[in-house]
Amino acid sequence: MLPSYYTVKGYGENEIVIEKSRFIAHVTRATTEEEAQEFIQTIKKKHWNATHNCSAYLIGENDQIQKANDDGEPSGTAGVPILEVLKKRHLKDTVVVITRYFGGIKLGAGGLIRAYGKATSEGINATGMVERRLMKVMHTKVDYTWLGKLENELRSSIYNVKEIHYLDTVEIETFVEESQTNAFTEWMVELTNGQCEVSEGKILYLEKDVG
């Protein structure tokens, strides 16, 4: 598992018009090639009457799966420019489909490359990006009398509270970087005068908005 990587927030779309042609970007996350292909087919069915539905995706920790499809546009003028934007943004597990409705004015190879690149960039901007960072979930059990103090301290700290369980005692789940688990434990013990029980839980990705 990668310590951290960038991907898109979820599904998003954005439309731009260039020389009377409509370029509609459809962007989403996909962790397998099957998911990416399903998404492409869904967009193709939705925009069955479009002139082109060009696509690209980048999947895997080491970008093992890379595909670009021009869908009838001149070779290398659509799918590859889409894929290049994904690479430049350092995105992983991302699929993009650009739907084009031809407006009657030919753009030429250079114009098409710029148009598909721009449509992809603006589509990603509209969707939003996240950084997924690998974190250890730390469980802190305390008496209710400590809850207010710990909540305040945690909210103004570098740590992110995942969840709070209100049981016989309070259990606070916190995202902590693996290198900081000992420091976190010591901090909790200090804050509660030793009246807490801290244990390590699962390793999960924490998502943070970027740009």
- Name the nearest CA neighbour of 174 among 145, 149, 202, 132: 202
Report the pLDDT value the prediction gives residue 189, as an integer from 0 to 100: 97
Top CATH class of 131-210 equals alpha beta
Same CATH topology for 4-127 and 131-210: the answer is no
Query: Residue range 17-21: average pLDDT?
Result: 97
| Dist CA 88 CA 132 (whole Å) | 17
**pLDDT digits 0-9 by tens, 170-179:** 999 999 998 9
The DSSP bridge partners found for residue 29 are 94
| Dist CA 82 CA 29 (whole Å) | 15
Q: What is the CATH number of domain 4-127?
A: 3.30.230.30
What proportion of the chain, given as a percentage, has pLDDT over 90? 98
Report the pLDDT value the prediction gives residue 153, as an integer from 0 to 100: 96
**pLDDT digits 0-9 by tens, 103-121:** 999 999 999 999 999 999 9
**pLDDT digits 0-9 by tens, 21-76:** 999 999 999 999 999 999 999 999 999 999 999 999 999 999 999 999 999 999 99
Return the residue matching tokens 């753009």.
107
Dmax (CA) of the chain: 74
Report the pLDDT value the prediction gives residue 1, as an integer from 0 to 100: 86
Query: Residue range 162-190: average pLDDT?
Result: 96
In which band, very low, low, confident or very high, does the pLDDT at 207 lie, cut at 50, 70 and 90?
very high
pTM score, whole prediction: 0.87
Per domain, the residue ranges of the chain are 4-127, 131-210
CB 122 within 8 A of CB 14: yes
